[in-house]
Chains A and B, each alone.
Chain A
Amino acid sequence: MRRFLLLLLLGSAGVAPALADYNASGRFLYVDREFNQTGFTGVEPQLPIRFADVQVVEGTKIVGAGVTDGQGNYAFRVQDTRTRDIYIRCLARRQSTTALPVDVRSGNQSGDIWSIRTQAFLSHAPAQDLFTGTLVATPGAGGEAFNLLDTAINGGDYLQFLRGTGTAPLLIVVYNASNPNLSSTSGSTITMANNGGYDDTVILHEMGHFVVNNFSHTNNPGGVHHLSDCNQNIMLAWEEGHATAWGLSVRRFFNMPHASSYVRTTGLLGPGNLQFYFDVETQLPFVCRGATSETTVYAALWDLFDGPGTTDESPGVEEPWDMLQGQEAPYWKIMTQYLQPTMNISLEDFWDGWFQPASANGRLPEMISVFRNLGVEYFPDTFEPNDQVTEARLIFPSAALLHQTYFADRNNDLLGEPDTDVFAFDAAGGTAYSIETFNLLGDANTSLELVATNGTTVLASNNDRSANDASSAISYTPAASGRLYVRSFHAADYGIYGSYDLRVTTVGAGVDADGDGFTSDTDCNDNNPAVYPGATEICNGIDDNCNGAVDEGFDRDGDGYTTCSGDCNDVNLQIHPGATEICNSIDDNCNGAVDEGFDADGDGYTTCGGDCNDANPQVHPNQAEFCNGIDDNCNNLIDEDFDVDGDGYTVCGGDCNDANSQIHPNATEVCNGVDDDCDGLIDEGFPDTDGDGLKDCVDPDDDNDGVLDALDCAPLAYSMTHPPGEIAETVLQPVGSILKITWDLVPETNVYNLYRGQVAVDSAWSFQSICLTAETVSTSLVDAANPPPGYLYYYLQAGSNLCGEGSLGTGTGGSSRPETLPCVPQGRDTDLDQVADLIDNCPLVANAGQADADRDGRGDACDNCAAVANATQADKDANGIGDACQDADHDGFTADVDCRDDDATIHPGAAEICDLKDNNCDGSVDEGFGTGAVCAVGVGACLRTGTVICAAGGSTTTCSATPGAPQNEVCNGSDDDCDGLVDEGFDQDGDGYTTCGGDCADTVASVHPGAVEVFNGVDDNCNNVIDDVIEQVVVTLATYQASNSRLTVEATTNYPLGSVTPFVVGFGPMTWVPSASVYRLVVTTPTNPGTVTVTSTAGGSASRTVTPI
């Protein structure tokens, strides 16, 4: 009571923090792997993780929980009060009280649940919403587990379809890399093979066992069983065949592709990787007959459920013998009602259950059709009734096989009864007779007796012909003539039905030429040891078992052709060898060709497929229409759409552009870049200055100088595109009493105008420039004139080309410098090469051809770098070789890009090293080394800072600082001894908390901040409060029995017995029941309250839905 009061006080004082909610949301997917009969297809879609638990985790505590929806999305509120380091995880677990709950566990039956998780969210604030985006479980990292979960959920939903909504036992699926490579089921636990994580049909098969274990009954002895074994234990055959049929029915129920295919893979990544497959519709490739084969069982059950619309390997087609579908309801009733109390359960019991009066499912002809096709003959044979000597059927000894079934139904109620077959024959004294059974099917474990004429004395008998042969054989020679009786009955084992062949024959002098144990009078081929009565019939075109039929069981559609005799579709009787091929896109006659004979020209189109000329392979539907006077594409139009522009000319009539009516063979050629007259020439007869094939009228750059004509002031002269630029630098150099004026060469300029002006020394400047020299071809000039006293001369220069004269520069304030007397064109030809200086790319060197290989505007005859374009003729070292052609240090980089052409270690692209130089010529020094940045050395209290500097050698840097000296460690939250550890040695109990870090008992590991508080009289979590435990109430039971209006509620609490009293809200206090260790309240109330809430005096509370009983 003292503890309770303390909590109340804390609450009333407002010390307890208020709850702060946040939303957690996101989505979880897994990678699926689709498959077909070749194994994995390589298609790997991302599917939602449905209905799975989602948890918010802090360390080892769950602080919030929710569930994904059908699309893998989750969103739930989390109540919290503290900032925490958390993450969110999605578990391969579906919890449900109305559908099948599933756990996919790792390790073992009680192992951990597979899950995928998010990254950690550090210091998450309690009111901060959390969205985790979409996370995917991938193969090898949880994908298999979530695929198993998803498949099991589908199985659970199919189970719910069969039985309706209700609670179901937990299905535990154990998946782990250390599992065996075979899957198995025991009770409610499926252990999946280590390579079966994506084998959906395997887990569904195992779920079939789970369903039987929990909702029906089985006598399956279990263990390994082989699909090719046609003589299995009949109870095993039933249970295993049922499991396969049930599993694939799940896929059929959800219309999944290849629903009839069971596929087992090796589990490896990538397409293919098939171990084996089989098809339950056709049984292929494991074909057996009779109820002692699981392949027969699953094929029979499948035929009860499937229909033409089933997504199997032959959609839209159903076998002629399968006239049933959608029989889930009677099937489930048999499984859950008839078979539950039954013993030695096999397909025989399922048949009997079908026709039980309580079931009365009827449809006998359809059932017989389905079952007989699989060698299961649960109906009386043609000799019935012949159960006793008085009913014995008289026969005559011969080689004929008499087909029998151990199925009696004397009262015609369709339920089978143990059957005895009795025959009579008139024996001759002294003649040897052989009485034998052959071709046993479906657990027809025969036993024979030869009975004397009196009808009671047994003259001879035989149960098994040999240790491994359940057929029977009697040889007997009567001393006297008389009527004898043969009695055949089912030997005692687990089944009572089955079918077999009986033969009574005289033993003659026949020989056994092939040594197969049968003489020629009974052996239908005594030259082939593989052929004899009782041999297994295989599809080979001969009568292997001497029953008079060839390849029986291998012509299911009854069209007279077996699969081994060429029937390429044994479920469609219209398709077989010899059938008439009709034009229907199907290989009707099984010759490997489709619609042969209907495509004479071999163009891939038949006459029924629309080929309008089956003698011309170039004519057929989907063919392009050509302009050739015929209907190429079989659309009943000839050369349609070949004069689209309506100019009177078709494409095949010479119109080279059928989209433009101005273009045709008789049009006039105009200069427009188009072949107007369709003569194969474009703009013929019009000028092409640069000879590039584009006439000037359409060439955007007539002189091919790279500048569009619209922007080129000399569009027909490639060496100039705009007026000369301003002269960069002028040097005035007095030479004795004269002045030499030198200026830089201007690109695209061959001649220069030099102006001189005169201004008074003591007056303001006023430009009055007059032309001193016009169109000089030099870049220097000597002026011998001297200004008058009190004046000075100024000089201005400008280049001149076809586009005009360059600027003389601007004066103060940006105004142009006026020319009082402009220079005028001279028209000189200095080098006398017949090219005026103004446009001569080498005005001082005769070059009439104006050759300019690098097209930089400077003729080769005077270019200081003739092979490389260098319009400025830059030559930094003035050695006559242009920088663009000079690599003095032979480092592979010319002087125009090499910032140090005298140092081979320095050039563009060189590795920058830490040496205070620009090694790679990028304009930066020691970039990338971070020199000058702040740096630190030492840890803990020894930490010191400095700056980054180059280290010796230039490859690395170092810090200019020196670390401090370590001190002795004390408990202060610091690393005093600079060893990277804080307060080491001050956590004696090793619980992760030091004394100065809040550990209130450093000798007790269970006591520390954050520990879970329990009732022990100790402040476990060091919050200075002892045993402040939060009460946890759990409602363990809530039921309402309508028949007596009784509401029963049971609950538990983690508070000690007697310290609290739980109440059912609205119904009263609960009482402690020692025998059940719960608090219980039983009251009578007229209606089911739906939900009950239990509150406790210590503050705990919980609710639960009331279950009607």
Chain B
Amino acid sequence: MRRGSAVALVALVLLGLSGAPTQLSGAPKPALPVSLSPATIEPTLPLMIDLRLTGQRSGAQGGVARLEVSLDAGASLAEAVLTLVLPEGLKAEDGPLARGLQTSLRGGEHREYVVPLNARRAGLFPVRLHASFRLEDGRTYETNQAVLLRLGVRVPVGRSNAGAYEFMGVPLQELSR
């Protein structure tokens, strides 16, 4: 004996709404249509960090950019500490994240920060945000998110042609040098 009638009723309603197949029994089939379930998303931590760079401008003496940080808390997070880690040659203008942010977030809370960045030279700058936090049950976790700032450095660009997005391959002997 399996699920009770009340449970089955709930399932039928859900399946009907989603348009999923309603086959409840019968012999197994070798091939099935694709399940029409909602999109699945990769596992995450209860603190999701998204970093985006905007307004990049390069000059003879370096350049500037804006780092847009968005935080989404999937649970109540206490003792959250966010630290911006910048490489040599790149500095952040004074602000909460630049100083190192200690805060708490409620479950479902969304926050956004903007950090102006100044570079003394052209080049590639890995911008990292380290975060640690504590859950209500006492468990603590940490994570990182990062983005690469390019100032005055060409981004490798492919081209679309005849159904393919093409990059030039690198001869093995050049890679070995």
Contacts and interface: CB of A to CB of B under 8 A. Distances in A.
A193 interface: yes
A112 B160 contact: yes
A135 B172 contact: yes
A117 B146 contact: no
A116 B4 contact: no
A495 B170 CA distance: 54
Nearest to B7: A492
B144 A275 contact: yes
Nearest to B6: A492
B42 A61 contact: no
A137 B164 CA distance: 15
B166 A117 contact: yes
Interface stretch (B22-30, B95-103, B113-121): B22-30
Interface in B21-76: 21, 23-26, 28-29, 32, 34-46, 48, 50, 74-75
B146 A268 contact: yes
A226 B75 contact: yes
Contact of A188 (B34, B50, B145): B34
A185 interface: yes
Given A90-B169, A341-B25, A494 B7 contact: yes
B2 interface: yes
B173 to A, nearest CB: 8
A368 B36 CA distance: 33
Contacts of B165: 105-107, 111-115
A46 B146 contact: no
Contact of A60 (B4, B6, B20, B162): B162
Contact of A493 (B7, B28, B48, B50): B7
A228 B141 contact: yes
B32 A340 contact: yes
B39 to A, nearest CB: 4
A764 interface: no
Contact of B41 (A225, A274, A341, A538): A225
Contact of A221 (B15, B38, B142): B38
A219 B34 contact: no
Contacts of A530: 138
A213 B34 contact: yes
A137 B146 CA distance: 23
Interface string A836-866: 0000000000000000000000000000000
Nearest to A114: B165
A115 B164 CA distance: 6
Contact of B145 (A275, A494, A496): A275
A137 B145 CA distance: 25
B164 A89 contact: yes
Interface residues of A, number: 104
Contact of B170 (A135, A239, A337): A135
Contact of A229 (B29, B46, B143): B46
Interface string A281-300: 00001000000001000000
Nearest to A189: B39
Interface residues of B, number: 70
B167 A115 contact: yes
A228 B169 contact: no
B163 A113 contact: yes
A25 B126 CA distance: 39
Contacts of A457: none
Contacts of A213: 34-35, 37
Contacts, number: 249
B81 to A, nearest CB: 16
B43 A240 contact: yes
Contact of A496 (B4, B26, B164): B4
B41 A294 contact: no
B139 interface: yes
Interface in B132-167: 135, 137-139, 141-148, 155-156, 158, 160-167
Interface string A83-110: 0000001110000000000000111000
A195 B52 CA distance: 12
A538 B43 contact: no
Given A142-B167, A492-B10, A29 B37 contact: no
Interface in A336-350: 336-338, 340-341, 343-344
A224 interface: yes
B41 A183 contact: yes
Contacts of A538: 137-139
B39 A222 contact: yes
A62 B162 contact: yes
A267 interface: yes
A785 B142 CA distance: 112
A1052 interface: no
A389 B52 CA distance: 63
A106 B157 CA distance: 12
Contacts of A214: 32, 34-35
Interface in A225-256: 225-229, 239-240, 243-244
A215 B32 contact: yes
A228 B158 contact: no
A734 interface: no
Contacts of B167: 114-117, 137, 141-142
Contacts of A427: none
Contacts of B166: 89, 115-117
Contacts of B26: 341
Contacts of A142: 158, 167, 169
B75 to A, nearest CB: 7
A60 B24 CA distance: 50
A598 B5 CA distance: 68
Contacts of A28: 169
A224 B32 contact: no
A60 B45 CA distance: 45
B34 A220 contact: no
A160 interface: no
- Which of the listed residues A141, A193, A336 has the most CB atoms from chain B within 10 Å of its own CB? A141
Interface in A405-450: 415, 417-418
A957 interface: no
A225 B23 contact: no
A209 interface: yes
Nearest to A192: B42
- Which of the listed residues A29, A336, A340, A530 has the most CB atoms from chain B within 10 Å of its own CB? A340
B40 A222 contact: yes
A262 interface: yes
A91 B34 contact: no
A116 B168 contact: yes
Contacts of B156: 140-141
A135 B162 contact: no
A352 interface: yes
B92 to A, nearest CB: 18
A559 B114 CA distance: 51
Nearest to B36: A187
Interface string B82-118: 0000000000000000000000000000000000000
Nearest to A142: B167
Contacts of B148: 268-269
A57 B162 contact: yes
Contact of B44 (A119, A141, A226): A226
Nearest to B15: A343
Nearest to B148: A268
Interface string A128-166: 000001111110111000000000000000000000000
Given A138-B175, A496-B3, 5 more contacts: A141-B158, A214-B32, A285-B139, A343-B24, A494-B7
Interface of B: 1-4, 6-8, 10-12, 14-15, 20-21, 23-26, 28-29, 32, 34-46, 48, 50, 74-75, 126, 128, 135, 137-139, 141-148, 155-156, 158, 160-173, 175
23 contacts: A60-B161, A89-B164, A113-B164, A115-B165, A134-B171, A135-B171, A186-B38, A186-B39, A195-B146, A196-B42, A221-B38, A223-B41, A225-B43, A226-B43, A229-B74, A239-B37, A268-B146, A275-B144, A340-B28, A340-B32, A343-B24, A344-B7, A492-B6
Top 9 A-B residue pairs of the complex, sorted by shortest distance between their CB atoms: A135-B169, A222-B38, A266-B146, A116-B169, A337-B28, A134-B172, A106-B165, A492-B6, A112-B165
